[in-house]
Amino acid sequence: MRPMKKIRVLIVDDSIVFRETLSQKLSANPQLEVVGSAADTFDAMEKIKQLRPDVLTLDVEMPKMNGIDFLKKLMPTDPLPVVVVSSLPINAFEALDAGAVDFVRKPSAKSSSDITDFINELIVKIKIASTAHVGKKLSAIPQPATQFTADIDNMVIAIGASTGGTEAILSVIKDLPVTTPGIVIVQHMPPVFTKMYAQRLDKNCIMSVKEAENLDRVEKGKVIIAAGENHLTLARDARGFYVKSRPGQKVSGHCPSVDVLFDSVASIAGSNAIGILLTGMGADGAKGLLNMRKNGAYTIGQNKESCVVYGMPMVAYNIGAVTKQLPLLDITGDIIGYMNKIGNTKK
């Protein structure tokens, strides 16, 4: 039996102590091989040419050229899966915008448990990044209808995503009009980062976007993003839909969990819902999407070609949870088309 090919990793960080610690810890994993390290981005560019790593770990704050500018220079010519290591949400999101696959939050404390958790998360994300599709340029965005032709009440849209999801979610919701039914979203992300992500989306979308707070109302023109380490569920009273945002144990490996959200939408909204599962590793959301479809919801899965990681939507498709599988850039128009169809049918 041939031995499994190891994932070749290059570490880029200006701290020699941090580089040595990462190298030692990552090398201890039998699936990883640290092929080298670089103290700055200029050194990194040369090491990439010499060593041809499979994945790069990248600090953002470095001398000579910061990690964001480095990514903008690297990705158009030598696209490579990059996992950013940063303590600041703003840096992490700018890195994702520049082409990084994912990010890991630097441990704020130096306790052994914090460092162990950080290393374990980094190893998982390096393995995921090694399977990611990077450097693909999506075709021009189709021009969907800018407005609904029917006024839809009593509906909700639920979206789930993981690796690659920050940009995918923006692509789906950016141009949806204020007449769009309320949207609830789970994107796998730690605390603090989810609030920053919601704020970034709010600046770039027509609809208003906020991080979930317990008992927030789900209303037209409003998007609610699950808070890190809190499950998001849909509920209903005489006034309509609202959300519950509460801490809990991991479900399907995550908190917040897409499965938890989708299961609640299936139960509360039934056929008055659209479920959308986007790029991400693993299976979170697949069973929940199937539950939604069984309860009459219209369900969409992102297709393989447009996913950064075709994991969650692949599992959903394979178990029959997906009504329609679509390229990322076709999803917005399909949402509007479906809503107009059912709205006009109800007239």
Q: Give the residue numbers annotated as catalytic, written as ranges.
A: 162, 188, 284
Q: Are 38 and 10 in contact (CB under 8 A)?
A: yes
| Euclidean distance between CA atoms 229 and 244, whole angstroms | 13
Q: Tokens 């796998």 — which residue?
A: 188
Paired tokens of 269: 């909204």
First and final C-alpha spacing in the chain: 64
| Euclidean distance between CA atoms 122 and 14, whole angstroms | 18
| Euclidean distance between CA atoms 109 and 112, whole angstroms | 9
In residues, how long is the chain?
A: 347
User: CA triplet 288, 200, 191: central angle to 5 degrees?
Assistant: 60
Q: HEC states along 90-133? A: HHHHHHHHCCCCEEEECCCCCCHHHHHHHHHHHHHHHHHHCCCC
Paired tokens of 14: 């200006």
Q: What are phi and psi of 300, to 5 degrees?
A: -125, 135
| Euclidean distance between CA atoms 104 and 82, whole angstroms | 11
DSSP 152-199: --S-EEEEEE-TTHHHHHHHHHTT--TTSPPEEEEE---TTHHHHHHH
Q: Where are the beta strands (DSSP E) in the chain?
A: 7-12, 32-38, 55-59, 82-86, 102-105, 156-161, 183-187, 208-211, 222-225, 231-237, 240-246, 273-277, 298-302, 324-326
What are the Cα distances from residue 287, in Å, to 251, 300, 317?
A: 12, 13, 10
Q: Which of 214, 158, 213, 211 lies closest to 182, judged by CA?
A: 158
